[in-house]
Structure 1
Amino acid sequence: MGIEGPFWRAIAVYRLASLAYAIVLLIRNDGYAHPVTSWTIVGVMALWTAVSAFAYPAENLRRAPLLGLDVLTAAGCLLASPYAQGDLRGAEGVMPVPATWVAGPVLAWAVYGARRLGALGAAVVSAADLWVRARTPDAPLLLNGVVLLFLAGVVVGHVARLAKQAERRMQRAVEMEAAQRERDRLARGIHDSVLQVLALVQRRGGELGGEAAELGRLAGEQEAALRELISARPAPSGSSDLRTLLLRYGSARVTVSTPATPMVLPTRYATEVAAAVGAALDNVRAHCGDDCRAWVLAEPGEDGAILVSVRDEGPGIADGRLAQAAAEGRFGVSESIVGRIGELGGTVEIFSDADGTEIELLVPRPAGSRAAKGASQGAEGSG
C-alpha cells in the first residue's frame, strides 16, 4: 500500500468521526421530523463507513466501482435528508443528516486520482448539496460547503500526488543503492578471480611473444573493459553517463580519459556522441592500422557543453581526402561523425598534419533537460 496507507487510515478516521457527529446532531434534534428515515440514513452511513474502511486499503478493490459507489452513497444520503427532516429543513443551524460525512468520498477521490479527480468528486457531491438547498423553502443558498469541498479535493489531491512522487523517487534511490551494493559485491569477487587471471594472461603472453602476445593483448583489453564495467555508476532514469559509454573503447592501444565526476546526458545524446567516437576510432584502425595508438579525451566545456576529442598518431589526412570520400559515396566522417553531432546541435572540427589527426566534438547542453543540469553540475564540480 505504501505511502497511501496513512491517507486511507486518516480518511477512515474522518468518516468515523463525521458519523459520530451526525449521530449527535440526530439525537439533539430528536431524530428530526421522521426518526425512522433519519436513522435509516445513519445506518447506511455506518455500513458504508465500515465497508470503505476495509475496501480502500485493498489495492485489488480500489477501483472505479468502489469510487463510484462511494460518491453515490454520499449523494444519496444527502438527497434523502429533506425527507427525514421534513419541516425542520432550512431551519437556522440545522444541517443535512450526513452533515460533514459527505466529504469522505471527495477525500478518497483526491487521494486516488490527485487534484483533478478530487475536484470532480467535489463537483458531484456539491451538485447534490445545492439541489437540496435549492428545494428548501426560504433557505439562503450558501456556497460555503461547496467551496470547502473543492478546497479539500484540490489540496488533499495535490498533497497525495506529491507524496506518491516522493515515494517513487525514494524507491528508485533504494533500488539504485541495492544495485550498487550488488555491483560492489560482484566487483570484489571478479577482482579476486577473473581480473587477476586476465592480468596474468596479459603478462605471460607478453613474456612468451608470438601468438601468445596477441592473446595477452586481447586479455589486457578485456581486463580494462571489465574494470570499467564493474566500476560504472548507474545514471538517473532516462539519462546515461557518457563516461561509461566512452570507457568501453579503452584498450591496450586506445587510452580513454574522462573526468572523475559523472557526465550525465539524455540517453539519446550520450549514445550518439559515443557512436561518433566509435566511428572515429574505426577510421583510425581502417586507415592507420591496428597498431596505431589513439587517445580519447572527454571534458566539460562552457555552459554545460561536452567536449570530446579523438586523437591518433597516424600519418594524417591528405588535403581533399574527406571531400573525395564523400564524392565516392563513403560517408564515414561526414555522416557517422559530423552528421550525428550536427543533429544534436553540436559541431565537429578536424585538425590533421603529419603527426596525426585530432577530431573535436562539441555538444551543447540540451535545453531544459534535467540530465543536462546534472552534467552542468558535474562540470562545475570538476573545475
Structure 2
Amino acid sequence: MAKRERVVRMSVEQPLWRALSGFRVLAMVYAVLLFSFGRDRFERPWVAVVFLVFLAVWTLVTLPKVANAANCTKRFLIADLTIALTGILLTPLADFDARSIDGTTLPSIWTAGSVLAFAIKGGWRWAGFASSLVAAANLIERGHPSRDTIHNVVLVWVSSIAIGYVVQVARASERTLARALEIEAATRERERLARDIHDSVLQVLAMVQRRGTAMGGEAAELGRMAGEQEIALRSLVSSGLVPATRVSEDAAEGAVVRSFGADEDAYGGTYGETDEDPARAAAGPCDLRTLLAPYSTSKVTFAEPGAPVLLAPDAARELAAAVSAALDNVTRHAGADARAWILVEDWADEVTVTVRDDGPGIPEGRLAQAEGEGRLGVALSIRGRLRDLGGTAELISVPGQGTEVELRVPRGRGRDR
C-alpha cells in the first residue's frame, strides 16, 4: 500500500525571533559599555546605573518571551516598549547636557529591539505604532528637534515598518506554500486512488458489460447496469484529477496513445492480477523481471537482460503496474491478431521498459478526447505512476504502424544498491 504524503510546515519567522533575541542581548551590553566609557559626563550617574541594571535583568529574564510569536504577548510588548520609552525620557535626568548636545540615550539601540518585536509580532502597522511612540519620546527628550534626532527617528520608523511589511509578506507566502503543498499531496493521493480504481474496478465493470452483452438475457441487463456504473465511476474519478495543462500537452503531442484491442483470453486475462506479488514480500531490492515475466504469452513477447534488474520494491511494483496498464490497452483496443513486445533494459543510470505493439495506432487528438471522457489509463495508470517515481513515460503512435510506450525510471529513484 502506498505511503501517504506528509506536508511539512516550515516557519520563516523563527529565525527572526532568534536574531531578535541575540540583538537584544548585544544591544543591552552595548548600552552598558557606552555608559561605562562615558560615565564622567553624567551628573547623576546613579540614575543611569539603576536603569541599566534593571534593563540588563529585564533583557535576560524575558529572553523566553522573544523566542517565538506565541510567547511574545501584547502585554509583554507594551511593558517592553514602556521600559524603552522610560529610558529615553530619563536620559536628561542623568545627563544635564543631553538636551543641548546630540548623544545617545540611556537604552541606546536597545530601543530598536523593542520596536522590532512589534514588527515581527504584528507586522508593519504595529511597527509604525511603536516607532511613532519612540519618535515622540526622542523629540521630548531633546526638547527641540535636531538634524541628528530627526535622522535617527526617521531611520527607526522606516526600517521597522519595512521589516514589519517583509514579515507580513513572508507569513502570507508561508501560508500559500503550505496550502499548495497540501493541495499537491491531496491531488497525488487522489491520483493514486484513481489509478487503483482504473486498474481494478473499472476493468471488471467493463468486462462484465462486454460478457453480459454477449451472453444476452438477464446477463445482458446485468451488463447494461455494469456499463452505467462504469460511466458514473469514470466521471467521478476524472473530476478534478486531470489538469487542463496536461490535456493540452497531450493534444499537442498528437497521436501518442496505443490502439490495442483483442480478447482477454489471448493475452492472459486482466493484467496485474497475479496470485502473488513478489515485490510486496521482498524485504530488499526486487528483480523487475519476476514481475514482468507472467505477462509473457503467445501474443506477448518478453525480452529481458541475463542479470537481475534490481529496483526498490515499491518502484518495481509501480513500474510493473504501468506495464500492466499498457498491456491492458492491448486487450481493449488492438485487433485480434495484434502482438505486443516487452523489452527491459538495465542501464547504469536508469531502467527502461519498452512496450510495443503492431496494432493500428491511434488518431491524433484521441488521448485528449479519452481523458475528457474520463478514460485515464494513460494519464494516471501510466504517466502518473512514472511521475511519482521521478521517471518519464513517452508514448509514440503512428497510425497504421502500432504504438510504443517507453517507461524510464532513474537509477537513484528506482534501485537500492
- TM-score by length of structure 1 reads 0.55
1:34 aligns with 2:44: yes
> Which whole-Å CA distance do the structure 2 matches of 1:129 and 1:120 have between them?
15
Structure-1 residue corresponding to 2:165: 158
Equivalent in 177, 181, 185 of residue 174 of structure 1: 181
Question: 2:205·2:227 contact (CA, 8 Å) conserved in 1?
Answer: yes
Change (3 A) 1:234 1:195: closer
**Of residues 6, 9, 30 in structure 1, which corresponds to 2:18?**
9
Compute the RMSD of aligned alpha carbons: 3.3
Q: Is the 8 A contact 1:78 1:128 kept in 2?
A: yes
**Conservation of the 8 A alpha-carbon contact between 2:206 and 2:230:** yes
Structure 1 match to 2:406 = none
Give, in angstroms, the shift of residue 35 of structure 1: 2.8
Q: Which of 58, 69, 89 is the matching residue for 2:79?
A: 69
1:19 corresponds to: 28
Where structure 2 has 5 or more consecutive residues not aligned to the other structure, the ranges are 1-9, 251-367, 369-417
Deviation for aligned residue 1:103: 1.1
Is contact 2:12–2:174 with CA below 8 Å preserved after alignment? Answer: yes
C-alpha offsets along residues 235-294 of structure 1, whole Å, 9 cap, x if unaligned?
Answer: 9xxxxx799xxxxxxxxxxxxxx8569xxxxxxxxxxxxxxxxxxxxxxxxxxxxxxxxx
Q: CA deviation at 1:26?
A: 0.4
Aligned partners of 1:62 and 1:107: how far apart in 2?
12
CA-to-partner distance for each residue in 1:159-193, whole Å, 9 max, x for gaps? 11221122122112211221123223323332343
Distance change in 2, residues 1:202/1:142 (3 Å): same
State the distance in 2 between where 1:211 and 1:82 align: 102
Using a 3 Å threshold, how does the CA distance of structure 1 residues 214 and 116 change in structure 2: closer, same or farther?
farther
Q: Is the partner of 1:33 in helix, strand or coil?
A: coil
1:25–1:206 Cα change, 3 Å: same
Cα pair 2:138 2:149 within 8 Å, conserved:
no
Q: Which structure exhibits the higher relative contact order, with contacts defined as CA atoms closer than 8 Å and separated by 6 or more residues? A: 2
1:123 and 2:128 are equivalent in the alignment: no
1:194-248 residue CA offsets vs partner (Å, 9 max, x unmatched): 223322322233223345434433433433443454455569xxxxx799xxxxx
Amino acid at match of 2:130: G
Structure 2 counterpart SS, 1:142: helix
Contact kept, 8 Å, 1:88 with 1:94, in 2: the verdict is no
Structure 1 residue runs without a partner (length 5+):
236-240, 244-257, 262-298, 300-383
Q: Number of aligned residue pairs: give it.
A: 243
Q: Are the aligned partners of 2:209 and 2:222 in contact in 1 as well (CA < 8 Å)?
A: yes
Instruction: Give the conservation status (yes or no) of the 8 Å contact 1:78–1:98.
Output: yes
Structure 1 residues 211, 36: CA separation in 2 closer, same or farther (over 3 Å shift)?
farther
Per the alignment, residue 188 of structure 1 pairs with 195
Counterpart AA for 1:127: A
8 Å CA contact retained: 1:206, 1:216: yes
One-letter amino acid of the counterpart of residue 162, structure 2:
V
Regions of 4+ moved over 6 Å: none
Q: CA deviation at 1:101?
A: 1.0
The reply to whether residue 50 of structure 1 matches residue 57 of structure 2 is: no
1:112 equivalent to 2:121? Answer yes
* Distance in 1 of aligned mates of 2:228 and 2:244: 20
- Residues 181/50 of structure 1: CA separation in 2 closer, same or farther (3 Å cut): farther
State whether residues 133 and 141 of structure 1, in contact with CA within 8 Å, keep that contact through their aligned partners in structure 2: no
Percent identity between matched residues is: 38
